[in-house]
Structure 1
Amino acid sequence: MKKTFLTVFGLLVLSGCAYFGAAHYDKLFGVEYTQQRVVTANTQLGTEFLQHVKPVLDSRCVVCHGCYDAPCQLKLSSVEGIDRGLSKERVYNGTRLLAQQPSRLLFDAINTQQWREKGFTPVLNERAQTAQANLAGSVLYNSLVLKQSSPLPQQAVLGNEFDFSLDRAQSCTNMDEFGQFAQNNPHSGMPYGLPGISNQEFQHLAKWLQQGGYLAHIAPPSKVELAQVVRWEQFLNQGSLKHQLAARYIYEHWYLAHIYFPEQGAKPSFFKLVRSKTPPGEAIKLISTRRPYEDPNVERVYYRLMHDRSTILAKTHLPLALDDAKLSRLHMQFIDADYTVSKLPSYQVEVASNPFKAFAAIPVNSRYQFMLDEAELIIMGFIKGPVCRGQIALNVINDHFWVAFVKPEMAATPKVGEMLLQHDDALALPAAEESNALPISSWVKYAKRQNKYLAAKVELANKLFVNGQHLTTDLLWQGEGVNDNAALTVFRHFDSATVVKGFVGQQPKTAWVLDYALFERIHYLLVAGFDVYGNVGHQLLTRLYMDFLRLEGESNYLALLPEHKRKKIKAQWYRKSPPSLTRFFEGEREFSQPSGIDFKTAHPQAELYAMMKDVLKEVLSTRYDHQTVPEPLQAINRLPAKAVNLLPQVSFLLVKQADQGHSAYTVIHHNAHYNISSLLNEEGQRAYDEDTVTIVPGFIGDYPEAIWYLHNQQQLTEFVKQLPLMVSESDYRALKSEFAIRRTHPQFWQYSDLLHQVAKQYRGVEFGLFDYNRLENR
């Protein structure tokens, strides 16, 4: 203990001296220049990093510094991110008038020097490589020391000097500024607003930094995996125009996925599908464009599987298994299908951003079946992709709704395909405006186009369903009896969201029924066509257009309900709607045919939900069935609204079992709204008395806001007893004092490790580290 204390004390003194000389670093340690830090894994320095340093960075740092929304763009989840450092530019900026240059690791710069030229500053020392300079000149080291010298206050709830809002001001301090920053902000040591790391963890990092901060990549894929990569790259890069068009379509839908080969077992390697200038067998040279469909400016695009060497984060993890069955399925859908490709589509934006034009040669049925096969993954793209961050991006959806799909026999008929071809201009998406858009004039233009398409769609439907042919639940895709992607549930958690398989939770306020054209447009609006670096106009236009698509999905669902009930139900969903939306409703062409369902009660929505579950029962995932939660926890599903109002959006609950194992549950707070059509006044549309809550087994959500830990059955009983009695913030804080692991808990990191250990057991290949940026301070 004495040796540990003296080591830390000596480092603190060293750091303190460095602060006094901050303005003279060039004199003390020479000018900055980028270093070559990457070493092979089998060297002593590489082994040291992978065995002792990376585990600390992952479990203590990456949980806040992992992705687009990492503070100061500091991504400690990869070798490239650590070496790149930090930036004062914010990725999520809803007010910028002009699109900013992208800053995606691996894509927008090929080495650290290029990142310096783009304004990124180092967190590792880039001056003289001596032991003293490596510590004194490291922002990362000094941030850790600052926490050691000014530990977290010994209080349950931290004071106003701590700002945990997602849009808080960020200093993004370089070493020349650090001395003054530390003096003004002694509470800002790392990990920010959480307990400091242990002395042992500190020493691992200090030793690593002192030696020069050398980095090493994780182990390469196995020979079995590499053989699969060769096989899949061969399929994706065949020379015929048919193969090339199919590969382009597949890529534009799978580029966010974490691809793996399930034969590898519990610890597979993950790959990203990328566009490369080089063919299989050569080193990948990435094609960097803002969007996956933009002009690659090469004669031939090659689709390659690139090993993803970064730490897996829950919030960006979209696992996709590739095996023999999947390859055969793709052959059937895209290669064996009867169609001819005489010319590849242009990369001009008006074509490339419109999948109905770009991929018109591929049969609608092939495209739609491909999307349905991995429907959760496709929907997950807009939930976990770059668009997912932020309340304004997500207030376009309800807090809880179910998603079903029109079966291909109805959504991909020749008449539907003909209609899509005739109206492909009306199906154009706001991405055609690229990343700098004028939202109001563009909105008017796309509103007219949407109305034109809806009129044609309704006209066709009214013609098809006549002479006793009416819509019933036979409309729904039933997953061919085996595919559990047929039923999905989406949860919105204010400024994040989750999609899972199954109809999860109590019957929701609304539901979507997606047909091919709607499903495709959602993907190209919110995933392929969305630019997180775009200007305010682009972001607002995307949000506004999504209103149209949500309404269309809801209208497809409404068409199954009694005709005389549809307007009343819709009016209930959109109480207190703004005049602009009311006018849109009035101009909307509606499906006028009666439902073919014989409803028996005065509550047709409840009947329809029950019917949907019954029709899809063969493929309905029960993984998150809220009715399987045992008593007394089951009672949480029936909490009164006043108690629900006090709960955060997502809470994780661990219950210790008699065998020392743990059961895990997620408590999800659903915010009720009069309507979700007000862009900037969500608070004014809140219907607090209608808030509900759902508790499910396992983990739903990637951003825990509260962590509850119940040591035994007695605590569990008392916790459930006190929950419904809450009526004030003080009641909630009292409950947390008794049962929660707050961010200030002295053993927070031990419980964090336990949480991830249990989550790994529950999620398996879907596991990724949780993000603590939304962990509440209450």
Structure 2
Amino acid sequence: MRKLLTTVFGLILLSGCAYLGAAHYDELFGKEQPQQRVVAASTLEGAEFLSDVKPVLDSRCVVCHGCYDAPCQLKLSSVEGIDRGLSKERVYDGTRLLAQEPSRLLFDATSTAQWREKGFTPVLNERAQTEEANLAGSVLYNALVLKQSSPLPKQAILGDEFDFSLDREQTCTTMNEFDSFAKDSPHSGMPYGLPGISSEEFQHLAKWLRKGGYLAHIEPPEKGVLKQVERWEAFLNQDGLKHQLAARYIYEHWYLAHIYFPEHGDKHSYFKLVRSSTPPGEEIKHISTRRPYEDPKVERVYYRLMHDRSTILAKTHLPLALNDEKLARLHSQFIEADYQVDKLPSYKPEVASNPFKAFAAIPVNSRYQFMLDEAELIIMGFIKGPVCRGQIALNVINDQFWVGFAKPEMAATPKVGEMLLQHEDALALPAEEESNALPISSWVKYSKRQNKYLSAKVALANKMFANGQHLTTDLLWQGDGHNQNAALTVFRHFDSATVVKGWIGQQPKTAWILDYALFERIHYLLVAGFDVYGNIGHQLLTRLYMDFLRLEGEANYLALLPEAKRKEIKAQWYRKSPPSLTSFFEDELSFSQPTGIEYKTMDPQSELFNMLKAKLKPILSPRYDYTKVPEPLARINDLPVKAVNLLPQISFVLVKDGEDKHKAYTLIHHNAHYNISSLLNEEGQRAYDEDTVTIVPGFIGDYPEAIWYLHNDQQVAAFAAGLAKATDEAAYRDLKSEFAIRRTHPQFWQYSDILHRVAKEYRGVEFGLFDYNRLENR
């Protein structure tokens, strides 16, 4: 019988069709049941997985399957994700009426059997563990075989049978369904919409799957790193109430970070700060809650550093360096500071979701300085956290704007602290409604609270800056003379976004100046308080409330402009917007004092941007200075608008520089809008004639949509000239045929490897694999 089966499977595999049909799997191989696949890295199977299989999965599969938005929730970036498999449930669903049960790896289930109970289905064979069954019963293997038997059509642009939209229908087929799926969708082999993997790569994966698909974790951190972990866990888990409150505050701001210890060389081990029911020295037992501040339901919370063993992805990578200097800084901010904690705050939603209540005992100045020290990281939380994905989530911000911060001496005075305490209820955030919310009634409630707080804030500001004490550029935090976090640029790329240090590119349309209360609310709205599994009401209310916070940040910036010009400039920002929003900051909610800045031209906004850059020049990061791009590529900054309109949001340009070196640049297309007040009608607010582009050195963005490869100076000149002359889709496609690495390029994966190698050189510790889900088909 075994010989017959072997012969049959040999014929099946040779025909390129390893699937049989739903009725036969159980009969031939038995019922599915989870297998024990994880082995030590020191075993033969473990070593082969790490040396031969994991590199293929990372470079060819994880670039599409690695995060919340991975198709079918299939995360091939970790051992746990591979074993968990597929789900037909969407994480990103803005229409669900009730909150969904979370499905976070390591948190919401602790075994493969529990994931099966939650509806996840395997991509590896879970029937009889024979070589034949391990191939025939594996969705992963059959998806690879399907690509081998039905490779990409030999055409530059793929047809309508390929759907690359983020919200495309997902099949998430099980092995029992694979036969009919393959017949209906022969083009859906993996990698989807990209060339197949090489024969050698296929053989590595086939050998691994045939032998049982054993998995192994990467090696544990070195002893020096583990000593640092012990030291930091000791600091975060001291018994005093002051220490416990400080640790809770730190955790709620750092829980998304990839923590590393830079003194231990370039091969960084990354850690996640997690809540555990067990103290340092014992195995971590996760406290699993939807949000980082929810009731842990244990007597004592311990804050632990968990080794992150998954592949690092650019779109979720938030590196945070910890060292002796950082430890001393935290000690001075939270332990040496003069305050007393008599009782730890409640975990009730109305308290825990409101940092102004929960952490009222900690001085405002300590909290604000802590956030300023790692301002890019904090803002990166809503750029790279779960809230980041999708056009509806991101159409609340402009495509390019600069961010500065009010200095602590002005934003964290005793008067400001007293005002925050008096209005802590008005500062409540939508997260107190938890994950099921009614959007309209809740929006009315929170808009009234925001009005109440703003009235108090403006009244205090008008009083503080009366009698000649007017606002000037001295308002800005200057990074203590060395911290580049003091000036940031946020780029929106339609349905993704990026934040970087420095004020990058041409002068933007708007800017934000954040004070402590505003900065804190953005974090607790979009990061700590956001539940990606929440219902439509929760997600909609989060989006609507962010309108208030954006307007507040812009109002802080407007206060530096001539009083007579503020309304005019704001009206230009919000052309054609609904009256309900444009009237939100009218006279009674507006700073009414004149600026202390003397303007000399009829373009005060341009003057102000120049003054702000001069003020912060010592700490402005030069890394992405667009003026450093050489000719002729620099001319791309002045492309005709028709050419700009043709560009995708993010394009990477690699220029060959010698035998094995490359220079890298990013083209960023800035979509102009009459306003960004519309939740659902973004297309109707687009001001296409005002679109611009910026080309910068290096890599900005994590989702390349176009990849250009230029072999020599002649091609660089031809590319720049051709782009300037492109006025329609046909011209753009011709240019791509000459210089681009399309998703259909026969050597796509070789160029992908070059791209990642160059990105690693440029980004260093910030490097992570790019995501190819947004590669254009043009």
**TM-score in same-fold range (> 0.5):** yes
Gaps in structure 1 of 5+ consecutive residues? 1-6
Distance 2:409 2:238 in 1: 30
* Alignment match, 2:556: 556
State the 1:626 CA deviation.
0.2
Q: How does 1:262-661 map to 2 (within 5 A)?
A: 262-586=262-586, 589-661=589-661
Instruction: Give the drift of 1:467.
Output: 1.3
The separation in 2 between residues aligned to 1:548 and 1:760, in whole angstroms, is 38
Q: Report the Cα distance in structure 2 between the residues aligned to 1:239 and 1:493, rounded to whole angstroms.
A: 45
Per the TM alignment, residue 10 of structure 1 is displaced from its structure 2 partner at its CA by 4.6
Alignment of 1:759-770 (within 5 A): 759-770=759-770
Change (3 A) 1:57 1:459: same
CA positional deviation for 1:265:
1.0
Are 1:12 and 1:149, in contact at CA under 8 Å, matched by a contact in 2?
Answer: no
Q: Contact 2:261–2:323 (CA<8 Å) still a contact in 1?
A: yes
**Cα distance, 1:660 vs. partner?**
3.5
Question: Take 2:458 and 2:100, find their aligned partners in 1: how far apart are those partners?
Answer: 40
Q: Aligned letter for 2:697? A: P
Quickly say closer, same or farther: Cα 1:10–1:720, change in 2 above 3 A: farther
Kept in 2, the 8 Å contact 1:391–1:495? The answer is: yes
Partner of 1:733: 733
Write the deviation string for residues 118-175 of structure 1: whole angstroms up to 9, x where unpaired. 0000000000000000000000000000000000000000000000000000000000
Supply the distance in 1 between the matched residues of 2:431 and 2:619 (Cα, whole angstroms): 35
Query: Residue 4 of structure 2 corresponds to which residue in structure 1?
Result: none
Q: Structure 1's 588 and 162: CA in aligned 2 closer, same or farther, altered over 3 A?
A: farther
After superposition, the CA RMSD in angstroms is: 1.1
Q: Provide the rounded CA distance (Å) in 2 between the counterparts of 1:418 and 1:526.
A: 26
2:182 is the counterpart of 1:182: yes
- Partner residue, 2:110: 110
**Aligned partner of residue 152 in structure 2, secondary structure:** coil
Q: 1:85–1:587: structure 2 CA closer, same or farther, 3 Å change rule?
A: farther
Contact residue 664 and residue 699 of structure 1 kept, 8 A: yes
Distance 1:510 1:40 in 2: 54
Which whole-Å CA distance do the structure 2 matches of 1:542 and 1:17 have between them?
A: 47
Q: Distance in 1 between matches of 2:676 and 2:236?
A: 41
Residues 19 and 142, structure 2, Cα contact 8 Å, conserved in 1: no
Residues 390 and 496 of structure 2 are in contact (CA less than 8 Å); yes or no, is this contact kept in structure 1? yes
Q: Secondary structure at the match of 2:228?
A: helix
In the alignment, is the contact (CA less than 8 A) between 1:14 and 1:136 conserved in 2?
no
In structure 2, runs of 5+ residues without a counterpart are 1-6
Alignment partners' CA distance in 2, 1:168 and 1:470: 53
Are residues 761 and 10 of structure 1, via their aligned partners in 2, closer, same or farther at CA, if it must alter by over 3 Å? farther
How many residue pairs align between the two structures? 771
Letter of the 2:351 partner, please give it.
Answer: V
Kept in 2, the 8 Å contact 1:32–1:127? The answer is: yes
1:655 is paired with a residue whose SS is strand
Cα-to-partner distance string for 1:361-383 (whole Å, 9 max, x where unaligned) = 00000000000000000000000
SS at match of 1:724: helix
| Amino acid of the structure 2 residue aligned with 1:335 | I
Q: For 2:369, give the aligned amino acid.
A: Q
Query: How far, CA to CA, are the matches of 1:381 and 1:12 in structure 2?
Result: 48
Q: Distance in 1 between matches of 2:337 and 2:222?
A: 34
The residue aligned with 1:145 is 145
d(CA) in 1 for partners of 2:17 and 2:519? 60
CA shift in 2, pair 1:11/1:704, >3 Å: farther
Equivalent position of 2:3 in the other structure: none
- Asked if 1:38 corresponds to 2:38, the answer is yes
Aligned to 1:4: none
Q: Deviations for 1:563-583, whole angstroms, at most 9, x for unmatched residues?
A: 000000000000000132134
Change (3 A) 1:569 1:211: same
CA contact (8 A) 1:79 1:216 kept: yes
Cα offset, 1:586, TM superposition: 3.8
Work out whether residues 451 and 588 of structure 1, in 8 Å CA contact, stay in contact via their aligned partners in 2.
no
Separation in 1 of the partners of 2:377 and 2:21?
52
Q: Deviations over 1:63-109 (max 9, x none)?
A: 00000000000000000000000000000001000000000000000
Aligned residues of 1:95 and 1:535 also touching (Cα < 8 A): yes
User: Alignment partner of 1:584: what SS?
Assistant: coil
Aligned to 1:753: 753
Distance 1:603 1:29, change over 3 A: same
Give the aligned residue type for 1:196. Answer: G
In the alignment, which residue of structure 2 is the partner of 1:98? 98
Aligned partner letter, 1:154: K
- 1:619 counterpart letter in structure 2: I
**Deviation at residue 473 of structure 1 after TM alignment:** 0.3
Q: C-alpha distance in 1, partners of 2:376/2:611? A: 21
3-state SS, counterpart of residue 655 of structure 2: strand
- Give the Å deviation of 1:588: 5.2
Question: Structure 2 counterpart of 1:734, which letter?
Answer: D
Matches within 5 A, 1:667-682: 667-682=667-682
Measured after TM superposition, the shift of residue 253 of structure 1 is: 0.1
Aligned residues of 1:561 and 1:608 also touching (Cα < 8 A): yes
* Aligned counterparts, 1:194-273, within 5 A: 194-273=194-273
Whole-Å Cα distance in 2 between the matches of residues 355 and 127 of structure 1? 50
Report the 3-state secondary structure (helix = DSSP H, G, I; strand = E; otherwise coil) of the residue aligned with 1:593: coil
Q: Given the two structures, how large is their TM-score scaled by the length of structure 2?
A: 0.98
Cα offset, 1:38, TM superposition: 0.2
Q: 1:664 to 1:164 in 2, by over 3 A?
A: same
Distance (whole Å) between structure 2 residues aligned to residue 164 and residue 732 of structure 1? 19
Q: How far, CA to CA, are the matches of 1:245 and 1:121 in structure 2?
A: 41
Give the deviation of 1:659 after TM superposition: 4.4
Q: TM-score, normalised by structure 1?
A: 0.98
In 2, Cα distance between equivalents of 1:359 and 1:179:
57
Deviation at 1:11, TM superposition (A): 7.7
Q: Is the 8 A contact 1:15 1:136 kept in 2?
A: no
Runs of 4+ in 1 over 3 A off after TM superposition: 9-12, 14-18, 585-588
**Fraction of identical pairs, as percent:** 82
Decide which moves more: 117-126 or 656-665.
Answer: 656-665
2-structure distance, mates of 1:80, 1:336: 41
CA deviation profile, 1:339-368 (whole Å, cap 9, x unmatched): 000000000000000000000000000000
Secondary structure of 2:651 counterpart: strand
8 Å Cα contact 1:12/1:145 also seen in 2: no
- 1:3 corresponding residue in structure 2: none
Q: Report the Cα distance in structure 1 between the residues aligned to 2:99 and 2:347, rounded to whole angstroms.
A: 21
